[in-house]
Structure 1
């Protein structure tokens, strides 16, 4: 049993909010860029969703800070919490396994314990088999897709689109990946890493069309991805600037959630919050997952285990 089931629950989060209000009357905007002003301690969210980053299970001994087998109990703990809290849906942010296609047969049933709808993001470690095989196993409609929930639009990107591991050598996408990687390498870019990937022009065009349609129907948008695009980091998507350009093209994108960088990260740029969640596979006995509460003027992240609590203001 992990610490978050015993200590990191909603009651704790409510106590923190109540203590803030008792001390200041209302929550005060502090130096933390994710802080928000809100006056009602008993305000109920419109809905909630769960996030499980970098489960990365495989039947292997620990390597450094990564405890692969322990992810079974960690994900079971997270799944039970999501069920107890009644989240509207859950998204695992990629790298459900570390290696070996057979690993899915152990960890996927644990994820499927979650009662509400479940969604998948593809991570670089998930390509232990051809892309179509992985997509079919996970029941995904495509490598990238979108869905609607409570008048919000949720977009799932595939940041492995142009990569060395998701495409056959000699294929058009493999050659595009090679050209993009070599260009970054020559320029000395920190994200010129073979375990990163890029987003194709076709996917960028699709993203623009989804965001445009959402804007016309006044839908706020949250984007899920495996790899980060901001702030600058060695784990970032190869063509992160092109992705950010599309995200900023409309005024309805609120947040971008991702994994990949197990240390976690955060940045805000032009009204969009970029939240890199910490990897679940890290450490022997401390979990890492989140429940996001959606309000009219903010998203509240309730972090479990190593993950931080955050308040993300909606500026648009």
Structure 2
């Protein structure tokens, strides 16, 4: 018997993505090829919460990878967006530990960035309070936390550069619009360019400012010195091997160039795509996981996972559509 199987984990955490709850009947994706289960998202979350609460040990925290409610709520007005968010956050309140929320495009369909900063989806209060836990620029939703010594998680803002949630008159909106229109010549900027290499330049994606990348580089340099193991968490995937080309961060190359020199980075987790994917970078050996989305998970199945962290690996136990995996460091 592998003696490691008897070793207790240093900590555990749960992960769930793309719940996209709305109190409406089922629909389909934009190409009408995949069913979307809007109303049963709450039941799927309850299923995950029950599993986490009954597990031994219980997760120390939960990562919610974005798109917690669907953009269709906004069509019925701000009050419906608030009701949907209240319903989902109430369910998260029954869970075993604190929830670290990532912002996705659907959060930004329902609320402005400034409103999200004031909302319960801003989990920056869970960030490290140590001198090394310095936050990113105030208008960037990015922070870090360390669940146990030797491990660090960094929540990053994959719509820091983007159109969603910003006033059209703002300088940041205009800068992002000028950028996307260099590559996307369509009148509807939600329609991807025909070229695969450029198809990520749509409104429903975004990217990372130089300020955020510099902040991340600083965090990782500190983690290198301390020989920590770092997991980076975003909504939009950051590696072309872990997603289709249309759901990739705008400046993923700059992001990968930022993390490449840092031996501390062991894993990047994302949502957004709805179909799970995994890739290990051949050069850096970083594990890139894209989690299956609840929104396209039939009610009889599930889409969440529990991760146990050890000194030399993370062991992912999936439920339903999510596959079991082992990430060796």
> What is the TM-score with the length of structure 1 in the denominator?
0.84
Match in the other structure for 1:91: 63
Deviation of the 1:113 alpha carbon: 1.2
Q: Out of 267, 279, 283, which is 1:267 matched to? A: 279
Distance in 1 (alpha carbons) for counterparts of 2:277 and 2:202: 18
Distance in 2 (alpha carbons) for counterparts of 1:295 and 1:70: 34
The SS at the match of 2:145 is: strand
The SS at the match of 1:243 is: helix
The SS at the match of 2:212 is: helix
Q: Out of 47, 52, 55, which is 1:82 matched to? A: 52
Match in the other structure for 2:130: none
Match in the other structure for 1:33: none
Deviation of the 1:119 alpha carbon: 0.8
Match in the other structure for 1:304: 319
Q: Out of 1, 9, 17, which is 1:45 matched to? A: 9
Give runs of ≥4 in structure 1 deviating > 3 Å: none
Match in the other structure for 1:280: 294
2:130 is equivalent to residue 115 of structure 1? no
Deviation of the 1:284 alpha carbon: 2.8
Distance in 1 (alpha carbons) for counterparts of 2:240 and 2:159: 19
Worse-matched range after superposition: 259-268 or 77-86: 77-86
2:308 is equivalent to residue 293 of structure 1? yes
Distance in 1 (alpha carbons) for counterparts of 2:45 and 2:117: 20
Match in the other structure for 1:203: 212
Distance in 2 (alpha carbons) for counterparts of 1:267 and 1:180: 28
Any conservation in 1 of the 2:60–2:96 contact (CA below 8 Å)?
no
The SS at the match of 2:4 is: coil
Match in the other structure for 1:252: 264
Distance in 2 (alpha carbons) for counterparts of 1:176 and 1:264: 32
Any conservation in 1 of the 2:297–2:303 contact (CA below 8 Å)?
no
Deviation of the 1:94 alpha carbon: 0.3
Aligned length: 278
Structure 1, residues 29-67: CA drift from partner, whole Å, max 9, x if none?
xxxxxxxxxx53322211111001111101121112111
Structure 1, residues 6-33: CA drift from partner, whole Å, max 9, x if none?
xxxxxxxxxxxxxxx6xxxx6xxxxxxx
**1:279–1:149: structure 2 CA closer, same or farther, 3 Å change rule?**
same
Q: Out of 113, 116, 120, which is 1:134 matched to? A: 116
The SS at the match of 1:234 is: helix
Distance in 1 (alpha carbons) for counterparts of 2:276 and 2:60: 24
Match in the other structure for 1:73: 43
> What is the TM-score with the length of structure 2 in the denominator?
0.81
Any conservation in 1 of the 2:99–2:123 contact (CA below 8 Å)?
no
Structure 1, residues 208-267: CA drift from partner, whole Å, max 9, x if none?
111112222221100110010112521000000111111212110000000000012111
Match in the other structure for 1:175: 174
Q: Write the mapping of 1:207-222 to structure 2, written as runs, cut at 5 A.
A: 207-222=216-231
Deviation of the 1:180 alpha carbon: 2.5
Match in the other structure for 1:223: 232
Deviation of the 1:290 alpha carbon: 0.7
Distance in 2 (alpha carbons) for counterparts of 1:284 and 1:59: 16
Deviation of the 1:115 alpha carbon: 2.6
The SS at the match of 2:42 is: helix
| Structure 2, gaps ≥5 residues long | 29-34, 74-80, 125-139, 186-192
Distance in 2 (alpha carbons) for counterparts of 1:176 and 1:255: 31
Deviation of the 1:279 alpha carbon: 0.1
The SS at the match of 1:250 is: coil
Match in the other structure for 1:241: 253
2:27 is equivalent to residue 63 of structure 1? yes
Worse-matched range after superposition: 85-94 or 212-221: 212-221
